[in-house]
């Protein structure tokens, strides 16, 4: 177990905004993670789980008592049988894609540009395509998810059907489980086809996504594009945090942005949807 103190969380997120972790833990195995969780529970202390740091907005004016960083917890990538793999939650998605491609398998290459660990991808049920034009979700490939059940303090293998996967949703958002890894099943795929899909996705992202000095990806999973466009007329060119020029559902930090900048835009979007009686649902996770 690696332990640090007074860690600047802005350096651990893709949005480059965050407060301070008073106690920062980096478990190097699922055993260490579970022992830590049990200890914090016994001491009646709360904690935050930090994965790849994407899709995450952290208050830069707050100090967080206990933060657990999943970077080293489980980096296993193993083919268990033909086309079936066990993938640890701490693997970056790029490493996973390259590894399974070398073994002649694939299917989710378009996730290559996500700055995320596998645990976060499962948590968000990340995928490609909008709500009404879904090409695939990571849940399409999952057969089981290995979790630590916080209440029972046991490791459990959850069947896909029990994970409540929906568009950008899963049961794991309720906070009762910590994702340790997952079993997936893939189809055979020629490595040249895999490489071609990766290259096409990289080119698409270069042409259609704006990063600035920091970004957490899509802000909302359900929204009215017209309403976001209205908000962008007032927030699209400001300094700090602004809405991307070619995608109003994409917030960009120019390097000087603050939590207050971002939350102001998010709240304006939510408020306008409410008064116009339109549905809106946040995709980005906000640490209170």
List Cβ neighbours of 77 (8 Å cut-off, separation of 6 or more). Answer: 85, 86, 87, 88, 91, 95, 96, 99, 100
CA quadruple 131, 134, 136, 139: dihedral, nearest 10: 30
Encode pLDDT of 13-31 as tens digits.
Answer: 999 999 999 999 999 999 9
pLDDT beneath 70, residues of the chain: 236-237
pLDDT of residue 237: 67
Angstrom distance (rounded) from CA 209 to CA 220: 15
User: Does domain 77-192 correspond to CATH entry 2.40.30.10?
Assistant: no
pLDDT of residue 209: 81
Contact status, residue 285 vs residue 57, Cβ threshold 8 Å: yes
Q: Phi/psi at 264 (nearest 5 deg)?
A: -65, -45
Angstrom distance (rounded) from CA 283 to CA 114: 14
What is the residue extent of each domain of the chain? 2-69, 77-192, 210-287
How high is the mean pLDDT of the chain?
94
Smallest CA-to-CA distance from 105 within 27, 189, 24 is with 189
Encode pLDDT of 60-119 as tens digits.
Answer: 999 999 999 999 999 999 999 999 999 999 999 999 999 999 999 999 999 999 999 999
pLDDT of residue 8: 98
For the chain, what's the residue count? 288
pLDDT of residue 43: 96
Angstrom distance (rounded) from CA 80 to CA 85: 5
pLDDT of residue 288: 81
Produce one character per residue of 20-51: b if its CB has 16 or more CB atoms within 10 Å, e if not.
bbebbbbbeebebbbebbeebeeeeeebbbbb
pLDDT of residue 261: 94
User: Does domain 210-287 correspond to CATH entry 3.90.1170.50?
Assistant: no
pLDDT of residue 129: 87
CATH class of the region 2-69: alpha beta
């Amino acid at each position: 177990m690696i332990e640090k103190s007074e860690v600047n969380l802005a350096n651990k997120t893709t949005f480059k905004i965050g407060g301070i972790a008073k106690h920062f833990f980096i478990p190097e195995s699922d055993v260490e993670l579970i022992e830590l969780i049990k200890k914090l529970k016994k001491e009646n202390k709360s904690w935050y789980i930090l994965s790849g740091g994407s899709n995450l907005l952290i208050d830069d004016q707050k100090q967080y008592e206990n933060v657990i960083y999943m970077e080293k917890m489980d980096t296993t990538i193993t083919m268990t049988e033909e086309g079936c793999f066990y993938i640890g939650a701490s693997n970056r998605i790029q490493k996973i894609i390259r590894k399974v491609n070398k073994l002649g398998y694939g299917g989710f290459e378009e996730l290559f540009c996500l700055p995320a660990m596998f645990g976060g991808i499962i948590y968000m049920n990340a995928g490609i395509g909008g709500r009404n034009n879904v090409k695939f979700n990571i849940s399409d490939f999952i057969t089981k998810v290995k979790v630590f059940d916080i209440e029972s303090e046991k490791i459990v293998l959850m069947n896909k059907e029990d994970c409540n996967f929906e568009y950008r949703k899963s049961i794991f958002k309720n906070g009762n489980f910590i994702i340790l890894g997952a079993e997936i099943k893939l189809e055979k795929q020629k490595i040249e086809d895999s490489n071609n899909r990766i290259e096409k996705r990289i080119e698409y992202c270069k042409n259609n996504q704006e990063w600035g000095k920091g970004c957490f990806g899509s802000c909302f999973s359900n929204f009215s594009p017209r309403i976001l466009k209205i908000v962008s007329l007032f927030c699209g060119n400001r300094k700090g945090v602004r809405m991307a020029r070619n995608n109003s559902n994409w917030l960009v930090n120019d390097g000087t942005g603050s939590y207050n900048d971002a939350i102001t835009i998010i709240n304006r979007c939510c408020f306008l949807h409410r008064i116009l009686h339109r549905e809106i649902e946040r995709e980005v996770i906000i640490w209170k």
